[in-house]
Chain A
Amino acid sequence: MKHEILYPGAFPMVRVELAAGETIKAESGAMVASSPTIDIESKMEGGFLGALSRKLLTGEKFFFQTLRASRGAGEVLLAPTVPGEIVIMELDGLNEYMVQKDGFLAGSESIKIESQMQSLSRGLLGGEGFFILKVSGKGSLILNSFGAIHKVELKPDQEYIVDNSHLVAWSGTTSYHIERAASGWVASFTSGEGFVCRFRGPGVVYIQSRNPGSFGAWVRQFIPVSE
């Protein structure tokens, strides 16, 4: 499987070249175009219950679509819903990644995607909900973000603070806990940050340069209110 990011920046697409018989799984609705040799199958990753729990719990789409080069080699174009960068990671079978629910765009057939429950404080305050996706296995993982994607590399025991709504993904070796942005409750909220995540290395943290929630709130003020 070969892949390439087209038009890097705000409105990118991924071109994936599949050899005959190869497959890729993608977020449903992510396919833009494909060669006629590619078949689309809807697949409930982890069986019906797994898919249902992912849908109910993480808000991630119920079905992943599987794109299979069943009638010969071909290419697929994939794009996310929101404007923002795409990043491709190669999983080596040892590194796992936690991905917030809107961050997954596509992945090799061989990668494993599970829903994972977070602790209460992370679920309530972390901004990703109670469930996140845990991606493991060996293969390519394609993530998308809202805005640009920024990679933060953390050495062992190195700490870094990220606003919770800017998180895209982080490696399984990093841990984090939630804390107030400022030392007082009032200051935490008046600063506009509320809660932040304190990450601790080693590992990498992918963050997005725009906050989807804040953007939504900003757009809302321009929508005419109909009676």
Chain B
Amino acid sequence: MGSATAPTSPNALCFSDGLPSTGLPCHVEISADGLTVRFDEHNGLGEVNLPFRALSVSAGGLNHDQLVVRWGTAPSTQTVYLKDPSLIRTFRSAAPPELMKELDATAAAVRRARSRNRMAWGITAGAIGALMMGIWFSMDLLVGWAVDRIPLDWERRIGESAYQDFLIQHPAVKDGPAVAAVQEISERLIAHIPGNPYTFEVAVVKSEVVNAFALPGGYVVVFTALLQQAENAEEVAGVLSHELNHVLERHALQRIVKQLGLVTTVGIIIGDQQGLARVMKQIGVELLSLKFGRSQETEADVTGLQLLHRSHIDPSGMVTFFQRMTQKERGGVEWLSTHPMSAGRAQRLEAEIASLPKTAAEPFTFKWNTVQDALRPVAVRG
């Protein structure tokens, strides 16, 4: 459409008091002198010639994308709405300077409204983004709060069921020098935990896999193969101290809460602790396959070394055991898959040891050879 089309084809809507509220279709033609508005013959309205000086303009329509041309005085004001962009362009190019000023002001107002709209969208998108980032970064803080609110009793129950399930499939070694040695080491360590709220249970399990793990609530399992691989009691103490500190720092609970997500976390903060075990089951969080994060490993390393130091056990056992296991790097050393010994980790451990004040180590009552001999019978007999 445009000024070149046949005069009968309407290209605008005309509004005024006597006309329908949806507007009367009309044909607008633009010339150098002004506007000609032509109505359908059967309307009996004929045509109106309007010089530019009689017109005023503004923007209209839902998105301010229509040009509103107005003429006449108050009671008998008439308006045409121009929507066709080419018609609006023609109007602009024909308009005299006085009207141009009005047109420019209108266009500026529309641009301002549009940029305000864009800005509002931008600000909203930004705010949502910032909120998400905030939640992401405060997640650890929230997890911490939630974990603090889980009662010990609950933690114990969660850990105990997994512990019992595990022991049914992997019977514990009941007595013998190995069990006695592990007991002595753990008792020494546990005795040096200040304000220990846990009643620890440490089990030795017969297995070819080099592994040890801790469950929430204070349940620790050491595999016989790990004892066989250890060259001295201090190395076992290093592993045990590390595992005990996973419990003390409630690392497993932190992982669980993180896996369960923010909604549950908030639920726990608000007080729905009953739901934790149920939700864990639903989501299928398995304690035994739970892996700790790097920062948790570091924390357990550092606090583990401190505990060894307080217990008067040579802390270098922790480093030597990790390092030897990594060098061997063969199948069956499961503990390494969850505790990889990177160069960085070794350095950190050694730096940590160096920073600890020197104390004399107190020896254990057992001989490590005896323990290892006791673990060997299977091989000897075979």
Q: B117 to chain A: which residues have CB within 8 Å?
A: 119-120
Q: B34 to chain A: which residues have CB within 8 Å?
A: none
Q: Does B60 contact A (CB under 8 A)?
A: yes
* A172 and chain B: residue at smallest CB distance: B61
The reply to whether B17 and A173 form a contact with Cβ atoms under 8 Å apart is: no
Task: Sort chain A's interface into a size bin.
Answer: 20 to 34
The reply to whether B25 and A156 form a contact with Cβ atoms under 8 Å apart is: no
Q: B10 to chain A: which residues have CB within 8 Å?
A: 92-94
Q: In the docked arrangement, what's the CA distance between A93 and B23, Å?
A: 12
Q: In chain A, residues 177-209, which have Cβ atoms closer than 8 Å to a Cβ of chain B?
A: 201-204
Contact with B along A141-164 (1 / 0, CB 8 A): 000000000000111100000000
If A119-B117, A202-B15 touch, whether A153 touches B21 (CB-CB below 8 Å) is yes
Q: Identify which of B60, B79, B120 contacts A119 (C-beta below 8 A).
A: B120
The reply to whether A120 and B77 form a contact with Cβ atoms under 8 Å apart is: no
Q: In the docked arrangement, what's the CA distance between A95 and B13, Å?
A: 8
| Cβ-Cβ contact count across A and B, 8 Å cutoff | 65
Q: Does B83 contact A (CB under 8 A)?
A: yes
The reply to whether A172 and B17 form a contact with Cβ atoms under 8 Å apart is: no
Contact with A along B79-103 (1 / 0, CB 8 A): 1010100000000000000000000
**B25 smallest CB distance to A (angstroms):** 5
If A94-B25, A175-B60, A204-B21 touch, whether A156 touches B77 (CB-CB below 8 Å) is yes
Q: Does B366 contact A (CB under 8 A)?
A: no
Q: In chain A, residues 82-128, which have Cβ atoms closer than 8 Å to a Cβ of chain B?
A: 92-96, 98, 119-121
**A212 smallest CB distance to B (angstroms):** 22
Q: Does B12 contact A (CB under 8 A)?
A: yes
Q: Does A174 contact B (CB under 8 A)?
A: yes
The reply to whether A173 and B77 form a contact with Cβ atoms under 8 Å apart is: no
**A73 smallest CB distance to B (angstroms):** 30
Q: Does B345 contact A (CB under 8 A)?
A: no
Q: Does A28 contact B (CB under 8 A)?
A: no
The reply to whether A156 and B22 form a contact with Cβ atoms under 8 Å apart is: no
The reply to whether A155 and B15 form a contact with Cβ atoms under 8 Å apart is: yes
Q: Does A211 contact B (CB under 8 A)?
A: no
Q: Does B121 contact A (CB under 8 A)?
A: yes
Q: Identify which of B17, B21, B25, B83 contacts A203 (C-beta below 8 A).
A: B21
**A139 smallest CB distance to B (angstroms):** 15
Q: In the docked arrangement, what's the CA distance between A153 and B121, Å?
A: 32
Q: Does A11 contact B (CB under 8 A)?
A: no
Q: Does A171 contact B (CB under 8 A)?
A: yes
* A158 and chain B: residue at smallest CB distance: B21
Q: In the docked arrangement, what's the CA distance between A48 and B280, Å?
A: 41
Q: Does B66 contact A (CB under 8 A)?
A: yes
Q: Does B378 contact A (CB under 8 A)?
A: no
Q: Does B347 contact A (CB under 8 A)?
A: no
* B119 and chain A: residue at smallest CB distance: A120
The reply to whether A95 and B21 form a contact with Cβ atoms under 8 Å apart is: no
If A156-B16, A156-B77 touch, whether A203 touches B120 (CB-CB below 8 Å) is no
Q: Name A residues whose Cβ lies closer than 8 Å to a Cβ of B.
A: 92-96, 98, 119-121, 153-156, 170-176, 201-204
Q: Can you list 19 A-B contacts (CB < 8 A)?
A: A92-B25, A93-B10, A94-B13, A94-B23, A94-B25, A94-B83, A119-B117, A120-B120, A120-B121, A153-B20, A155-B15, A155-B17, A171-B22, A172-B62, A174-B61, A201-B15, A202-B15, A202-B23, A204-B21
Known contacts A120-B117, A171-B22, A173-B66; 16 additional CB pairs below 8 A are A92-B10, A92-B25, A94-B12, A94-B83, A96-B83, A120-B124, A156-B16, A156-B79, A171-B23, A172-B66, A172-B83, A173-B81, A174-B61, A174-B62, A176-B62, A202-B79
